[in-house]
Amino acid sequence: MNAAPKTPTHPLAGKTLSGAEIVVQVLADEGVTAIFGYSGGAILPTYDAVFRYNAEHRNADGSESMPLIVPANEQAAGFMAAGYARASGKVGVALVTSGPGATNTVTPVRDCMADSIPIVVICGQVPTAAIGSDGFQEAPISNIMSACAKHVFLVTDAKKLEATMRTAFEIARSGRPGPVVVDIPKDVQNWTGTFRGEGVLPVPGYRARLKAVADSTLDEAACARFHDMLSQSKRPLIYAGGGVINGEASQALRDFAHTFGIPVTTTLMGIGAYDTTEPLALHMLGMHGTAFANYATDDCDFLIAVGARFDDRVAGVPARFARSAKWIAHLDIDVAEINKVKRVHWHHVGELNPALKALLAYAQDRGFKPDYSEWHRHIAELKHQHALNYDRSSEAIQPHAVIEEINKATRGEAIVATGVGQHQMWAAQYFDFKQPRLWLTSGSMGTMGFGLPAAIGAAFAQPGKIVIDIDGDASIRMNLGELETATTYNLPVKVVVLNNNGDGMVKQWQRLFFESRYAGSDKSLHRKDFIKAAQADGYEFAERVTRKEDLARVVRDFIAFKGPAFLEVIIDPVASVYPMVGPGMSYDQMITGDWIPARAAPAATKSDKADLF
């Protein structure tokens, strides 16, 4: 009987390394190709170890194998790590110092938790003996982050540092992904000990839950119950969320939808899970989803939710969501999402790929070939009658037209990051996305300032791809310092600022619900010259468009420019995002504006105000 093959021993196993060197070696072992961070006293040993590692490990072209990218602030480092993770599917890494360096990453950590994005944030900390003494640049990071992150480690036993680092990556990427914070005191970084080259911490409860999910397969009885609903359905609809992308299940979803001809709508986070150029693609549903997607959701008789969580921006009034559905099925990796918002008739908790393949195989084995032609005609009519539209005759530049012009050039193949606000919704509505991981946006947290640093992170994750940040004049101000980061590293990131002189989404709500009282949202008196700011930060292409007739030409030049490029477009200051399902409204009360036909005039709602902003 042959012996089982031995696992290759790590080439550094048994070597004596410092804690900082161990951290860096684990990053290399995990396949990290870029680190985003800002230095400081408590993290200096690890920064020095990164420097020495890169001096010794070069790529064939002479470049560093694990470059350290320095942003203008630590929040941006976290968002760069998030952009890297979102664009690649790998774990992003941020490396920051103690105290304010670490607390500046609270927002991106929470943002990643809310959107299920895998990053590892490594923080320096005051020496172990000084913890709790209110030392210089000390903050109780394990306490602060525990409410925001998937998991937090405070390493006080240096011998467990290597295993802790490996476990951090395991937790970040496995199950429902999320951010993990590792807080490392300076004396632990300076400690020297034996590098093992393997090993993780014993986290039996977590691994048992992972195994239960991985082992959870659909048996014949469960497939039969699902098949019974599907075979009786005349108007099935797939509602796909970010879990499809995080679970790398886009192809399985597409195979299932294509085989049976089931239309697909996605959440904001699910954009790209299904090719938006497909005839059966309904694009995004929800508060600012397409009117035809929302009407189709109202009309379907079987709603199949895949990797989605019935978020308030989608479900709105849960009792009236998918109001004609006789059945609702829900597939998700997280049991906590089942029946949390909307009760369903069938559910499966497990990995999406095998589940979708099992449902497909079961139906095919029984010769299931449904005729949904009537439903397809209805969908086509909805898309024709309630298509996205805007004031195309206006003398002012409409933001929708800017997105359409860029989309002509990129054809659904560019990586698009956004800030948060109206520009985010216009981008979600008017861009095409043929593949997953092309759309990067702060969904659940809605964090202004996300777009530019996320685009920078994506540029490191996917070199060679066109990366565009669609931003607003208010949102980009939040992390405007990262313009210089893009030029410092000569990243061909394209930055678009749709300038409407203020917080456009807030102003839209103030027009609708607060009688146009622009409290704190009107920036028309501010004096920011974005073109001069971009030029000062090294942008050789920095253009402003104020006339409609110049838009197409400048956009072509902007996309064709090889290096970092900046484009500001002065847009109609009262352009609004429609459709809009207001707070307390259901889809049949959707406001479609002046340019998208509605089925019926929405009921007036004066009392709801901004309860669900």
- Which residues belong to the active site? 74, 136-137, 186, 505
Q: Are 42 and 137 in contact (CB under 8 A)?
A: yes
Provide DSSP, 222-234. HHHHHHHHHHH-S
Q: Are 58 and 23 in contact (CB under 8 A)?
A: no
Q: For 143, which DSSP code? A: H
Going from the C-alpha of 608 to that of each of 385, 509, 605, the distances in angstroms are: 29, 12, 6
- At residue 193, what are phi and psi to the nearest 5 degrees? -165, -175
Total Cβ atoms within 10 A of residue 606: 6
Packed helices 399-410 and 548-560: angle between N→C axes, nearest 10 degrees = 40
Q: Are 399 and 572 in contact (CB under 8 A)?
A: yes
Could you tell me the maximum CA-CA distance found in the chain, to the nearest angstrom?
A: 82
Going from the C-alpha of 327 to that of each of 227, 303, 342, 345, 594, the distances in angstroms are: 12, 7, 12, 6, 34
Gap between the Cα atoms of 528 and 542, Å rounded: 14
Gap between the Cα atoms of 525 and 502, Å rounded: 10
Q: Are 150 and 74 in contact (CB under 8 A)?
A: no
**How are beta strands 16-18 and 192-194 bridged, if at all?**
antiparallel
Beta carbons within 8 Å of 486's beta carbon, 6+ residues apart: 452, 455, 456, 459, 493, 495, 537, 564
- Give the tokens for residue 476: 């980009």
**Helix intervals (H) in 285-397:** 291-299, 312-315, 352-365, 373-385
Packed helices 220-232 and 352-365: angle between N→C axes, nearest 10 degrees = 70
Q: Are 572 and 398 in contact (CB under 8 A)?
A: yes
Q: Are 341 and 318 in contact (CB under 8 A)?
A: yes
Sheet strands side by side (includes 151-154)? 68-69, 35-38, 92-96, 119-125, 180-185, 151-154
Q: For 237, which DSSP code? A: E
Q: Are 567 and 555 in contact (CB under 8 A)?
A: yes
Gap between the Cα atoms of 63 and 66, Å rounded: 9
Gap between the Cα atoms of 416 and 423, Å rounded: 12
Bridge partners of residue 450, in order along the sequence? none
Query: Helix-strand-coil percent breakdown of the chain, rounded to 5?
Result: 40, 15, 45
